A and B are shown apart, each in its own frame.
Chain A
Amino acid sequence: MKITYDNANRLLKIEITEEIDHFMAEKIRNKVDFEIQEYIPRKILMDFEKVSFMDSAGIGMILGRYKTAKMLGSSFCITNVKPSIKKILEMSGILKIIPIVEK
């Protein structure tokens, strides 16, 4: 996972590089929550370009970070979502509240 913070735009960019299952989701959530609380960004962008696998643990992980962001008044978006991942997200209904931004 690569996390970068753009100070000028108060944008926290989280580039996930791991396969997202229950085991990895827990690690990702701890690290990302730490960074969100560290920076209190205005915008959070989670990038899935390098994610080759995601199961339902990803839904919980994304939703959880969205809730953290909302609590802190930050916006939360996801990007570069592959068809296999989109299929899972669509099924869960979370795309109704979390926008996918195209690059």
Chain B
Amino acid sequence: MQINYDNAMTIEFLSNPNNEAFARIAVASFIANLDPTVEEMSDVKTAVSEAVTNSIIHGYENEKGIVKIKVGIINKTVEIEVIDRGKGIEDIEKAKEPLYTTKPELERSGMGFTIMESFMDEMHVESIIGKGTTVFMKKIIKD
């Protein structure tokens, strides 16, 4: 955890789909004292939910693994990292295309990265095949 943030936290949990709600609620409560609007809060919760779901169903393909979330706050900027040690993404640009999904049978819409990109102020993905994926996101809470 980086000491140069005003505030920071890290959580780790097993890749159980049950934990999708826990993850977004944990992040939401951590940033609550920045006094975000309902919309900003909903944007962050949705983006976290998308990233965590990706780790669970794509990264770990429903096998057991650990998902880690780091949140750091500087002034009114929230930085979030969602990290897994799963299988990694072969083609990140392809994965980010709207409506592209490798799991249509699960009724996945292929909108996850598009939502993260448009709901947050910044988003980028780093991934290594066989090693895992990290999604970095930034949201500036308006005054």
Binding site for B on A (CB under 8 A): 19, 21-23, 25-26, 29, 53-57, 59-61, 63-64, 83-84, 88, 91-92
Contacts and interface: CB of A to CB of B under 8 A. Distances in A.
Contact of A59 (B49, B57, B106, B111): B111
A19 B20 CA distance: 11
A90 to B, nearest CB: 11
B56 interface: yes
B107 A53 contact: no
A77 to B, nearest CB: 19
Given A22-B57, A83-B39, A61 B107 contact: yes
Nearest to B46: A55
A64 B72 CA distance: 37
Interface stretch (B4-12, B87-95, B112-120, B131-139): B112-120
Nearest to B49: A55
B45 interface: yes
Nearest to B106: A60
Of the candidates A54, A55, A57, the one having the most CB atoms from chain B within 10 angstroms of its own CB is: A55
Contacts of B106: 60
A4 B22 CA distance: 30
Nearest to A60: B107
Interface string B41-52: 010011001100
A64 B39 contact: no
Of the candidates B18, B42, B53, B107, the one having the most CB atoms from chain A within 10 angstroms of its own CB is: B107
Contact of A21 (B39, B42, B53, B118): B53
Contact of B109 (A19, A53, A92): A92
12 contacts: A21-B24, A22-B20, A22-B53, A23-B21, A26-B17, A29-B107, A53-B49, A55-B50, A56-B115, A57-B107, A84-B39, A91-B114
Given A21-B53, A22-B20, A56-B50, A63 B109 contact: yes
B53 A53 contact: no
Given A56-B111, A57-B53, A22 B17 contact: yes
B108 interface: yes
Contacts of A84: 38-39, 42, 46
Contacts of B38: 84
A91 B107 contact: no
